[in-house]
Amino acid sequence: MTSAVSRGRASLRDVALYYSRNAAAVDLSDNTNRWGVPPAAAAALRGAHRAMRYPEPYAQSLKEVIAEYLDVDANCVTTGCGSDGVLDSAIRAFADAGDRIAIAQPTFPMTEVFARVNGLVPLSIPLTDGYDLDVEGMLAGAPRLAYVCAPNNPTGTCVTRARIEALARGLDGVLIVDEAYADFAESSCLDLARSQPNVLVVRTMSKAFGLAGARVGFAVGQAALVREVEKSRGPFRVSVSGAAAATAALRHDLPWVRSRAMDAIAVRERLIRELQVRGLTPLPSAANFVFVPVAGAMALAKVMEANGVSVRAFRGLAPVSPALAASNGEALRITCAPWPEIELALAALDAARAEAACT
């Protein structure tokens, strides 16, 4: 029998633990930087000697470096333990338990988890069949919060700017724009975070900046908005080594980061062509990964993993487009990497499809 203690809070009942990964040697499953850790950040991680002391409570020095990087005021910046930490804090800052959050789906699954953990009611609003925002749908439940990921994980697509603006205007609450992949895209909503009182743009050091293990994320919004997120966040959320790595990366590694992002974009376009040559229908991508709806994706990924390459497989995605309807909501997401790794991935995919065709 489950005791009252081990059963936990009611709102945790539908929350699962994050899947534990057992990735193959060529791991193209999580959109991290396959070119590595940028050099100044790597040196800073080796030299983080002050770990016997607490970090700055609100990472003030790091906020100043981020502010300079983005050309905003430091009191318009908040930080966290990854952008996961920032999203969790922001969700808690602007909604009470029982409030609704509209989430444009399919998207990054952790947002719904943070919503539930904080007692919110997530409303899943499907993207349109062109992977754009259904603004009316997002507003229909009078949510206190709305979440849009742009470029979107896992589809790689971007919603149109006009619809993001319309959502921000129509919302009686806060719009969170997750820009984890903005470094690979042509546009950003940073300017909206400056000009609109209810827009928070969230970024991460985990993807283009090659520092997923350092766990540093940040967000930009007007000072009054950011202040609430800081309260909800609490002190000491960025470690001494995380702050050191992120600071070094933003001060010294920008040319490295930009150059690797350009490499990822070139690989992305070449990978899309290779998938098309195989008769598949990958979506256009503004991120460092390619999303390809394909029936049997779970089985394909399993065979690919046995052949040494991990990619992310999805099933049960909302059939928001004809391609996703045709694949029964199944798809593969492949992280861009140095081309020799993509060649291994394509060979593993070919082998997996050949095997599937035989059974």
| Cβ atoms of 79 and 90 closer than 8 Å | no
Would you count residue 89 as binding ligand PLP (CB under 6 A)? Answer: no
Give the contact letters, 97-126, x = binds to ligand PLP (CB under 6 A), - = no: -----------x------------------
Would you count residue 228 as binding ligand PLP (CB under 6 A)? Answer: no
**Single-letter amino acid, residue 6:** S
* φ/ψ bin of 17: left (φ > 0), alpha (ψ from -120 to 50), beta (otherwise): beta
Packed helices 39-46 and 240-252: angle between N→C axes, nearest 10 degrees:
150
Give the contact letters, 67-86, x = binds to ligand PLP (CB under 6 A), - = no: ---------------xxx--
Q: Pick the binder of ligand PLP from 59, 115, 123, 149 (CB under 6 A).
A: 149
Q: How far is the CB of 355 from ligand PLP (least distance, A)?
A: 30
Q: How far is the CB of 81 from ligand PLP (least distance, A)?
A: 8
Would you count residue 157 as binding ligand PLP (CB under 6 A)? Answer: no
Judged by CB under 6 A, the number of residues near ligand PLP is 13
Q: Pick the binder of ligand PLP from 155, 157, 196, 206 (CB under 6 A).
A: 206
Would you count residue 212 as binding ligand PLP (CB under 6 A)? Answer: yes
Going by the DSSP 8-state scheme, the letter that residue 19 receives in this structure is P
CA–CA gap between residue 63 and residue 77 (Å, rounded): 6
Quick one: which segment of 204-212, 243-251, 275-283, 332-340 binds ligand PLP (CB under 6 A)?
A: 204-212
* φ/ψ bin of 95: left (φ > 0), alpha (ψ from -120 to 50), beta (otherwise): beta
**Closer of 188 and 204 to ligand PLP (Cβ):** 204
Q: CA of 304: how far to CAs of 25, 138, 173, 281, 339, in Å? A: 11, 37, 44, 19, 17
* φ/ψ bin of 25: left (φ > 0), alpha (ψ from -120 to 50), beta (otherwise): alpha
Binding residues for ligand PLP (CB under 6 A):
31, 82-84, 108, 149, 153, 178, 180, 204, 206, 212, 217
